[in-house]
Every structure is written in structure tokens, then in C-alpha cells.
Chains A and B, each alone.
Chain A
């Protein structure tokens, strides 16, 4: 079946604008994760959704970042009033079950450039 998909693949925006990134997980996967990867850095956890439980937002760097998920399907990550330090590749992953016991599968990422 299809893997994790993300859109857009690339996004260039001006400082101060809002952006919305989309993730479509693998069908049937109850868990969904957002990470970001800045140039030359490791992956940073942002947020984790598991079924109907409250999301783990502990990795969101500021209140300009928010994410939503509709049921067990699509998720959107919104960054308001973008700053240049938000430039990164934003990666989405999904897994079949809850918690860390299940393999995470990643999408191709959205490369965000804030001018």
C-alpha cells in the first residue's frame, strides 16, 4: 500500500507569514508523529498523536507551532508568523500501534525555507 505522504514537498515563504504542512499517514496507522530536521542537525521531535488520546505536544518549540489530526487520518502542522529559524525539513511518521513498540515509517518531508 501507499506510504506516508506529505505536501507540499517544498515551501518558500516570507518571514511573518503563516504556513500549513500536511501529512497523510499509512492507512490503519493509529499513531502519527511530527519531527523537524534543521540543516546539519539531528531530528527533533515536535508532536505525537495516538488515537483519541491527548497529543504529546512537549516538543513544540513555541506557541507559534500547532498541529491537528482528524481522527486517525490526515494531520496538519501550522506555523504562524514564521521566522528564519523555522527553516528546516519537516518530517511526518506513522506507526501501526501505540507507543515505542512499533516501527515508525517516515514520509519524504516538506522542506520549508523562510526568507
Chain B
């Protein structure tokens, strides 16, 4: 069974800091990985998708990497802003024929001015 761990569970930082959120899978056979943010009472917003042939993806101040050999992913947030405050979830897919994603419990991020 695939277990997904996200560290830290919660993070509170002042505005402007660079952040690293970590995600690890017990089964390293990850085919692809997706990072989401979830705002309170809302659904999930897709941030980045790392497909099977890729090792990292960048979007604006966000950069995500995936090390398939170890089953670990990192989300890097540069120059954090209060608007980045949310819960960040990582989710992995196990194969191109299996649609489900395995989710971690998330990192709750608070960026204060």
C-alpha cells in the first residue's frame, strides 16, 4: 500500500522567506506527481505536474522536483507572500494505466506580513 508523508505538517514564516516542503512515498514506483494547494473550505488547485519523463517543473515562484529512485519530492517556494498561505498537498500516481492519485495529508503554510 502506498503511504505518502509530508513534512512539515505545519509551517509559519514571515513574508519573503524561501521555503521547502517535502513529500515522500513508501513505494518509490511513482509514475507522476502533482502538487496542489487547498484554501480553507475550497477544492484543490493544481500547481505543478511532473510527468513520468520529467524530474522537475517550474511555475513562477514555485519549483517542484521528483527523485524517483528515492520516492521523494520537494516543493520550493521563493520569496513567500501572505497570499501563499494555504495547505499544500502532494499526490503521486503509480502508473500510466492507473488513474488514482495517492495523497499526503498536506503542509499547512502560514505566511505573515
Q: Which residues of A contact B (CB under 8 A)?
A: 4, 31, 33, 35, 41-43, 45, 48, 50, 56, 59, 91, 93, 95, 98-101, 103-109
B17 to chain A, nearest CB (A): 26
Task: Count residues on chain B whose CB falls below 8 Å from chain A CBs.
Answer: 29
A100 touches B46 (CB 8 A): no
B104 touches A31 (CB 8 A): no
A107 to chain B, nearest CB (A): 5
B31 touches A101 (CB 8 A): yes
Tell whether A59 pairs with B44 under 8 Å between CB atoms, given A41-B105, A103-B34: no
A100 touches B44 (CB 8 A): no
Q: Which residues of B contact A (CB under 8 A)?
A: 4, 31-32, 34, 36, 42-46, 49, 51-52, 89, 91, 93-106
B89 / chain A contacts, CB cutoff of 8 Å? 42-43
A48 touches B46 (CB 8 A): no
Query: What would be 21 A-B contacts, judged by CB atoms less than 8 Å apart?
Result: A33-B99, A42-B103, A42-B105, A43-B91, A45-B100, A45-B102, A48-B100, A56-B99, A56-B100, A91-B44, A95-B99, A99-B96, A99-B99, A100-B32, A100-B94, A101-B51, A101-B52, A106-B36, A106-B43, A106-B46, A108-B42
